[in-house]
Amino acid sequence: MAGDDEDAIALAVEAGFAAVFERLTGADAGIPISLAAYERAFEAKVRWEAGHFADADQLDFPTRYRVGDDGTLATRYELVPLPRTGTVYTETTVHIRVLGLRTPYSLVIVEQDGVGVRALVKATGVQPGTVGIGSDCGFALESDTAAAA
């Protein structure tokens, strides 16, 4: 009899999970997605700093090592703070529903002022689809706890 109770509980848990998953993804989502991969793609994993090698003119963002013409690996770079202002280089508005994100939302590539670095960022503080190419913008980096509040 105990085995029947355990099976009933397991089925109830699975049914509950399926209902929650269906509510979150929608019956018409139809796009398989790795939530872990999607989360990694949208979480900030880098500093708002670029790498600068002493023998190079440009900055590397995100920071990375370099391999010289002779095959040597260069690993010593200086971290340089990036500006928090820039100009919108291009914009797109995403209308496809994605688990955990409000839809629609806008993504922009911003050319940061004075450093020749472009960054892909999610536009906030404006209605999706209203950011124009060439618009001036500023960056505000917020922690995960501030974003959840």
Quick one: 17 and 35 in the same domain?
A: no
71-123 per-position pLDDT tens digit: 999 889 999 998 989 999 999 999 998 787 788 989 999 999 999 899 898 88
Stronger pLDDT, 37 or 112, i.e. the higher one = 112
**134 or 14, which is more confident:** 134
For residues 66 and 80, membership in a common domain is answered with yes
Question: For residue 115, which of 60, 74, 62, 46 has the smallest C-alpha distance?
Answer: 60
Q: Do residues 48 and 105 share a domain?
A: yes
Cβ atoms of 106 and 90 within 8 Å: the answer is no
CB contact set of 38 (below 8 Å; sequence gap of 6+) = 98, 99, 100
17 pLDDT higher than 90: no
Say whether both 38 and 97 belong to one domain: yes
As a whole number, the mean pLDDT across the chain is: 76
Q: How many residues does the chain have?
A: 149
26 and 39: one domain?
no
Q: Are residues 38 and 23 in the same domain?
A: no
Q: Report the distance separating Cα 77 and Cα 125, nearest Å.
A: 34
- Please give the tally of structural domains in the chain: 2
Mean pLDDT of 40-47: 56
Same domain, 21 and 67: no
For residue 126, the model assigns a pLDDT of: 87
* pLDDT score for 26: 47
Q: What is the pTM of this model?
A: 0.59
Whether 135 and 69 map to the same domain: the answer is: yes
Are residue 19 and residue 73 in the same domain, yes or no? no
Burial 135-144 (b: 16+ CB within 10 A, else e): eebeeeeeee
Rg value, the chain, Cα: 22
- 47 shares its domain with 109: yes
Do 69 and 114 have their domain in common?
yes
Can you tell me the distance from the alpha carbon of 134 to that of 136, in angstroms, rounded to the nearest whole number?
A: 6
pLDDT at residue 30 tops 80: no
* pLDDT for 133: 92
Per-residue pLDDT at 70 exceeds 90: yes
Query: What is the C-alpha to C-alpha distance for residues 80 and 111, in angstroms, rounded to an integer?
Result: 16
User: Which range marks the domain in which residue 26 is found?
Assistant: 1-30
Measured CA to CA, the distance from residue 58 to residue 114 in angstroms comes to 11
CA distances from 23 to 16, 26, 129 (A): 11, 5, 26
Do 92 and 26 share a structural domain? no
The larger pLDDT score, comparing residue 3 to residue 121, is at 121
